[in-house]
Amino acid sequence: MFDKIKESVQKFSSKSVADEEAVNQLVKDIQRDLIRADVDVSLVSELSDEIREEALKQDLPKGLSRKEHVLEIVYNKLEELLGEEAEVEIEPKTILLCGLYGAGKTTTAGKIADFYRKRELKPGLVCADTDRPAAYDQLKQIAEDIGAEFYGEKHAEDPLEVVRNGREELDVDVLIVDSAGRNSLNENLREELSEIDMVLEPEDKYLVMPADIGQSARDQAESFDEAVGINGVVVTKMDSSAKGGGALVACQRSGALVNFIGTGEQMDDLKVYDPVDFVSDMLGQPDLGSLLEKIEEMDKDPEDILEGEFTLKDFQDQMESVTG
């Protein structure tokens, strides 16, 4: 992913002076790191110009050094690049999962079911994948493992009939339908998903795709959105791909909102996507988000900060922890 960005920021932070040479080197290092993460080159160029322009030409905010100002700019630009925070509502709903072979749809179906079960909603899983022979047994086993209701027809050939029957048979709060995949979004898959969509009428339609497709995620998100009207994305295998950041950026550029990221093989290895936390982790400062809120407050009324418990000395100490 963006592991190298942390090193680049720490290298910049360790410099005694944040002069033009240091800023230009930081921008160069971030360019390299983003390109390695498979972020579109044009976006990298645009981001680099913005960081350089704001870091070197903007007036310094009161109470901030040049180094602190640059770190704030980098944080904000990376957060913008990675899109908006997901809003996952904890309420009864129907969810359709779609995607290509190898995306991890079936495992993700179980993870989402477990996510809602832990929040006191009763989940049910429907195996509408009549194309892959092992899909039925795999999803049934997952349902048993996490304590979710399950419906499937092992030798079924019509996914629409399975979906209709599953809706009638399962009395659950959150119904999750695992659809079939293909090697590509061909006409047959488009038609199948469209028909399931009309029968199911789901509130949420999630595209499941692996992090290792990098910036190709944009084309895939746009194609599935055109086919079935997705309103969310789950990016899987974020723990094992250097291209995960590129996939997240690509989704943001397509207009698709990333709702969840998969970070491992276990059922609890699923996180609601939050770019603030993501960037904070990336830069190696978990509380950087709260620190930047203090910066916003300081921009509004520095005296309020000085009168409260959080002083400029506290702020300096926090920033030094980033540079350490």
Nearest to 138 by CA among 146, 127, 149: 127
Global pTM value: 0.81
Domain match, 66 and 154 both:
no
Q: Name the domain count of the chain.
A: 2
Instruction: Go through 256-291 and write b for each residue having 16 or more CB atoms within 10 A of its CB, e for each that does not.
Output: bbbbbbbbeeebeebbebbbbebbbebbbbeebbeb
Domain match, 287 and 248 both:
no
Mean pLDDT to the nearest integer, 121-137: 95
Domain match, 221 and 315 both:
no
Mean pLDDT to the nearest integer, 231-240: 90
Domain match, 35 and 122 both:
no
State the Rg of the chain over Cα: 23
Task: Indicate the SS3 state at residue 220.
Answer: helix
* pLDDT at 302 (0 to 100): 47
Q: What pLDDT band is residue 14 in, cutting at 50, 70 and 90?
A: confident
Domain match, 134 and 219 both:
yes
Domain match, 303 and 242 both:
no
Residue 193 in domain: yes
Angle between helix axes 66-81 and 288-300 (nearest 10 degrees) is: 110
* pLDDT at 324 (0 to 100): 46
Domain match, 203 and 228 both:
yes
Domain match, 257 and 145 both:
yes
- pLDDT of 142 above 60: yes
Task: Write out pLDDT tens, residues 33-61.
Answer: 888 888 888 889 999 999 999 888 777 77
Domain range enclosing 79: 3-83+282-323
Domain match, 193 and 57 both:
no
The winner for highest mean pLDDT among 6-15, 76-85, 103-112, 302-311 is 103-112
Q: What pLDDT band is residue 306 in, cutting at 50, 70 and 90?
A: very low
Domain match, 173 and 206 both:
yes
Residue 138 in domain: yes
* pLDDT at 310 (0 to 100): 47
Residue 140 in domain: yes
* pLDDT at 288 (0 to 100): 52
Pair type for strands 270-272 and 258-262: antiparallel
Domain match, 19 and 38 both:
yes
Residue 236 in domain: yes
Q: The domain spanning residue 144 has which CATH number? A: 3.40.50.300
- pLDDT of 202 above 70: yes
- pLDDT of 299 above 60: no
Q: What pLDDT band is residue 1 in, cutting at 50, 70 and 90?
A: low
Residue 88 in domain: no
- pLDDT of 287 above 80: no
Q: How far apart, in Å, are the Cα atoms of 38 and each of 51, 125, 157, 293? A: 19, 34, 39, 30
Q: Higher pLDDT residue, 247 or 147?
A: 147
Q: The domain spanning residue 52 has which CATH number? A: 1.20.120.140
Domain match, 199 and 164 both:
yes
- pLDDT of 323 above 60: no
